[in-house]
Amino acid sequence: MAASEFFDSNADFYGALEPHRHDSFFIDFISKHTKKCNLLYIGGGGGCFTKTCKDHFQETNLCIVDSSKSLLNKQKSNGIKLVVGKLPDELNIDEKFECIHIKEVLHRVTGSSIVNSKKIVSESLINAQFYLNNDGYILVHELFYESYLIPTFTRTMIFYLLKIQNLLKIKIPNKHFLMNLDVCFYTRRELREIFKSLDFNVIDYYEEEWENSKYSKVGLIRHWGRMCFVLQRQTNKNDSTNISTMK
């Protein structure tokens, strides 16, 4: 099943999102650097962050790119550009922005294996930065699940359990294991290593670690929560083109 079909069929599950504390982290960062919010929101079909931007900033240029038409149709545009597209290379836009917000999307950009998924995530970040103005910022919000002894164990287990579920068409009895869902989560260290390999500097960081629960114990999770990065790519002085100066 294509990503657009999956999110269209699960629009209610992913669309009913309210602003949270981590949204304020990004809003505060944008406020410190500009009075106008010029932002591309990738995977923002739920629309909660752009609504917060509209409420906070007097002047905005906002664009949402999402693979789901159903999610995009759920919101009132109010001057917000709505575009059907997806990572890694089908954003379908022709302008650049000061900020690009990628919220809980990278773990859904998956391939046939974890190694392949990392490669596609890297391609996604490289392609996304071409839509940044010089010295712009990428705001990444992701979830992390880290196990005892081997931090990547739970992530790997989730990745392949979903592959088996989708192949056999037998649903795992957990509301988060949606049919046809594919995800590849990353540990905090893994994601930082991906950013470093692409010459992204972490300008700011915010983290929420959740308390242990029955779910975390069953999943052998030692640390879990959300991580929010503000990234800026190092300038390549040897590149003469405007778009590619963000290396």
Question: What would the pLDDT profile of 170-222 be if each residue is shown by its tens digit?
Answer: 988 887 788 888 999 999 999 999 999 999 999 999 999 999 888 788 888 99
- Is residue 154 assigned to a domain? no
Q: Is the sign of the CA dihedral 11, 14, 16, 19 positive or negative?
A: negative
Q: Which long-range contacts (CB under 8 A, 24 or more apart) does 82-89 make?
A: 84/4, 86/3, 86/4, 86/43, 87/42, 87/43, 87/124, 87/127, 87/128, 88/120, 88/123, 88/124, 88/127, 89/123, 89/124, 89/127
Determine, yes or no, domain membership for 72: yes
**Does the residue 147 lie in any domain?**
no
**153 falls within a domain:** no
Classify residue 203: in a domain, yes or no: yes
Q: What is the pLDDT of residue 69?
A: 85
Pick the closest to residue 101 from 42, 29, 170 (CA basis).
42
Q: Residue 3 has what pLDDT?
A: 55
Long-range contacts of 65-68 (CB under 8 A, 24+ apart): 65/40, 65/41, 65/91, 65/92, 65/93, 66/7, 66/42, 67/2, 67/3, 67/4, 67/7, 67/43, 68/4, 68/7, 68/8, 68/11, 68/14
In a domain, 216, yes or no: no
What is the count of structural domains for the chain? 1
Domain range for 91: 3-142+187-209+226-236
pLDDT on residue 240: 35
139 in helix, strand or coil? strand
Question: What CATH code is carried by the domain that includes residue 7?
Answer: 3.40.50.150
Q: Which residues of the chain have pLDDT under 50?
A: 16, 237-247
Q: Which two tokens stand for residue 18?
A: 């309210």
What is the model's pLDDT at position 243? Answer: 34
* Paired tokens of 213: 């629960």
How confident is the model at residue 245, as a pLDDT? 31
